[in-house]
Amino acid sequence: MKNEYLLLTPGPLSTSETVRSAMLKDWCTWDDDYNKDIVEVIRAKLVSLATEQEGYTSVLMQGSGTASVEATIGSAISQSGKLLVVDNGAYGARIAQIADYLNIPCSVISPGETAQPSLSEIENALSTDLAITHVAIVHCETTTGMLNPIEPVASLAKQHGKVVILDAMSSFGGIPMDIGELGIDFMISSANKCIQGVPGFGFVIAKQTELEKCKGQARSLSLDLYDQWHCMEVNHGKWRFTSPTHTVRAFYQALLELQDEGGIQARHQRYQTNQKTLVAGLRSLGFTPLLEDSLHSPIITSFYSPTNSDYQFKAFYDRLKEQGFVIYPGKVSNADCFRIGNIGDVHPSDIERLIGAIANAMYWEVK
């Protein structure tokens, strides 16, 4: 059950041996010991982690996190609706792409990959385009590692009476928030992120009154958010189609381990320590972060690639992998960079070992 290397990525990520071990039993999707004792417990725990306010519910969806985003976009917006998307990275752009595929009218605010959205531009869009019914934003844009200002954006959207969709794929479970206080109507995340489970399903935590409005609106059978929720509600956790049972059981174990760690606040503190240790260590080796420190999230950090002509990411990657660490290539369109994640079963001592490994992997001359 031991891994050869540590995944320093935004997910899939390194999981505990006990989470992996939880997948070593088969489950029947009709039995109460699976549906009532695992699925329904997960659904309730997710809501309690997301908000202290009443009126929220949760639904689990098979597939990647993007499938849950598409289920939400395709189910929550009616045929007469229009979406406003804040796009400052690959995942905001993906929401707009989903809307395009589903023939949903969509306006996009694109401040660039290294800038936060302008509140005045959002205000102008909401004031001038009365057809907009929904606003979507990514919390942690893992293209760069930027943390977007969801509180003022959600507040603006609510002032204009809009439904707010939050892609919290890489932040939920690792950054404290109360989606009820923020006015979030739909929040989307995935099993293999900050809860530290394994890939296989995503989930949506939603205001129940808004979720009930989705009935009959879905543009897909398998991605019908309302039907999936309704099936789980009336059948005590039963999924409409084949449930990823092993992944679900692993997620249940991951939730227990989150609780044992001290909850989201404690996990956030560990991730922050990881990230600050990482940035300080790489700066000491001559690397420069892509973003200003004030824009960093504790989830993942982008660094400019060395300018030396001898540097090649693949060679650097391979040298680190040989020492037991896997990092991520860059995804920014206008900068040569690489990314290192801080989430998962990763601790400050691991980051310190990584810094030593990076020093050993630096085969180029530092200028």
For residue 136, give the nearest of 115, 121, 118, 122 by alpha carbon. 122
For residue 86, give the nearest of 132, 131, 45 by alpha carbon. 132
Does residue 70 register a pLDDT over 60?
A: yes
Give the three-state DSSP class for 209.
helix
- Span(s) in the chain for CATH 3.40.640.10: 18-260
Q: What is the pTM of this model?
A: 0.96
**CA 317 to chain CA mean position, Å:** 24
The residue-averaged pLDDT of 336-359 equals 97
Distance separating alpha carbons of residues 106 and 95, to the nearest angstrom: 10
What's the token pair of residue 23? Answer: 């997948």
Q: Which residues are documented as binding site?
A: 339
Distance separating alpha carbons of residues 333 and 210, to the nearest angstrom: 36
CATH number assigned to the domain with residue range 18-260, chosen from the 4 options 3.30.360.10, 3.40.50.720, 3.40.50.300, 3.40.640.10: 3.40.640.10
CATH architecture of 262-361: Alpha-Beta Complex (3.90)
Q: What are phi and psi of 213, to 5 degrees?
A: -70, -15
- Span(s) in the chain for CATH 3.90.1150.10: 262-361
- Tens digit of each residue's pLDDT (9 = 90 or more) over 110-131: 999 999 999 999 999 999 999 9
Q: What percent of the chain has pLDDT over 90?
A: 95
Does residue 1 register a pLDDT over 60?
A: no
Does residue 329 register a pLDDT over 80?
A: yes
Q: Which residues are documented as binding site for substrate?
A: 339
> pLDDT value at position 120?
96
Residues 348 and 274 sit within 8 Å (Cβ to Cβ): yes
Does residue 291 register a pLDDT over 90?
A: yes
